[in-house]
Structure 1
């Protein structure tokens, strides 16, 4: 007997489950409390369980897989096409049940370590954004009093002590203290960002996959750790091109009547990983022949395909390697 398809709409406290009982033909669509969720599946025959790849999905997927069930995590955009009624928990669970029975690209279930690394990347990204806001705010406030500083974190670090000393003679002490406290917050965030990067470096030393793709030109610490954590199981992708499409580094296609039109990159998939790859792309060889943006995206595409090949085939990076297919 084939594994029974089950659709689950997960939530914080109450999960909605939809399936058709294979013995009685009964349509089951009912809520299950969080504490009773795993108990509901522990003694059941192997099921093919579908869930949206949202918050908490990877945790529950790991738990269900340990029980022997097959779990298929799907993008919310794919599931949305199967919801033909007004949105509700019951309707969402049925839509997931319909979607899990269709052929589609699944989201690989991540390990706890992979999720932990991704969370460190998210923490770092938030700190960088907040630090930029604080730097711009401090620069703007000092400009109100005629003090202009160069752009960037390094320029401010070089000039801030002189600037604060200059305005200290003519501004109230309470304002000077506030400005100094803001600069101290910026320095504190510098330390927090550096600490996260140090932890990522420690993981790089321990993880074979991160070390291997770290040898690719243009792939640094952040790109290597983010790529390994986000890809999950590399064999979930059939090719490097499929992984590049998942990241959003292939052209968007439209057309009809047999004519295909290629546009800019689709920008689907994970924006953070795509940003890391594009920032790491090197452009010296082709820069004089094509527009710089085209070159950067082309090389980022090449990098992501190389990352997939190294992880999927578990072989080290070789400069100048040529894949020769037999005739």
Structure 2
């Protein structure tokens, strides 16, 4: 296989499909390998390019292949789909991965380190627990509403619900009260677990110098910094701060044709977790500025004055993303001004 240039792998749990090709795309082999033989097979190959979809277990196999001396290319699955020919099966998927990887303008995903994936596990676990707690709170509110007990939204309403359920003059039937106590116990356990993970996140954020610097940006907190460290590639992958903001989906969606530029809402086509934290942080900055004053930040004051709050938050989040790119690319510290100085 002296002419072997690239191998596409359709990842799976136990059985993997491989597609080997020359640099011009000529097919050299198609194979199906069990999981136990993967490392042995690629260890015997001369160093070449290994292409995979950036899906589950891709980063693990990417690190394994890099240790064997191969060059790894991870491709977003949506960029592979157009290259699938007719019937969709594992063999055709592996061929489509090779076709996509050979495109000169294809965009690739950086292989994550074990430390990055460890941060992602902590972040995803906290996010899952928060969603489970929200489901329990909403379910409890819905059950009690059937008996005339209506409360507002949010975790803060749990105290009111607990006071009603555990009160001596509770208007609820005994069966409903018993179920309500179960809900409250589950919500309390999840709250303790969430707080424990948040303590871990804050401790790690205080120990890392880069995290400390990024948290000087108004609206950026320890959980947002963890999302950046876990999911963002090295800033050297982006040519400018605008490219980073576009990767996050914080730029307008384009519908341009015939030389006429048409822009719509935010594209939301990038990394959702980082974008969500930046937008939430921008909203908090805007609400704080509205109540306390803009403190000389004329750009934000003019923006809020002529645009809806959410549109202004997207624009501010875009600016925050560019600031993050500049700080991480140059090592420069954040220069406080405007709302931050106040």
Q: How far 1:264 moved relative to its partner?
A: 1.1
Match of 2:180 in 1: 179
CA distance in 2, matches of 1:57, 1:213: 29
Contact 1:9 1:17 survives alignment (8 Å): yes
Map 1:30-69 → 2, pairs under 5 A: 30-69=31-70
Higher relative contact order (CA 8 A, sep 6+): 1
Q: Give unmatched runs, 5+ long, in structure 2.
A: 290-300
CA distance in 1, matches of 2:82, 2:332: 39
Match of 2:298 in 1: none
Contact 1:3 1:48 survives alignment (8 Å): no
TM-score by length of 2: 0.86
CA distance in 1, matches of 2:192, 2:227: 21
Matched, 1:11 2:28: no
Match of 1:91 in 2: 92
TM-score by length of 1: 0.90
CA distance in 2, matches of 1:170, 1:72: 60
CA distance in 1, matches of 2:95, 2:311: 43
Does the C-alpha gap of structure 1 residues 158 and 169 become closer, same or farther in structure 2, counting only changes over 3 Å?
closer
Structure 1 range deviating more: 257-266 or 281-290: 281-290
Contact 1:3 1:46 survives alignment (8 Å): no
Map 1:51-130 → 2, pairs under 5 A: 51-102=52-103, 103-130=105-132
CA distance in 2, matches of 1:8, 1:64: 11
Does the C-alpha gap of structure 1 residues 162 and 49 become closer, same or farther in structure 2, counting only changes over 3 Å?
same
CA distance in 1, matches of 2:309, 2:99: 44
Superposed CA RMSD: 2.2
Match of 1:325 in 2: none
Q: How far 1:59 moved relative to its partner?
A: 0.7
Matched, 1:314 2:331: yes
Q: Pick the aligned partner of 1:300 from 292, 313, 317.
A: 317
CA distance in 2, matches of 1:123, 1:96: 31
Contact 1:13 1:34 survives alignment (8 Å): yes
Q: Give unmatched runs, 5+ long, in structure 1.
A: 322-327
Q: Pick the aligned partner of 1:148 from 147, 150, 170.
A: 150
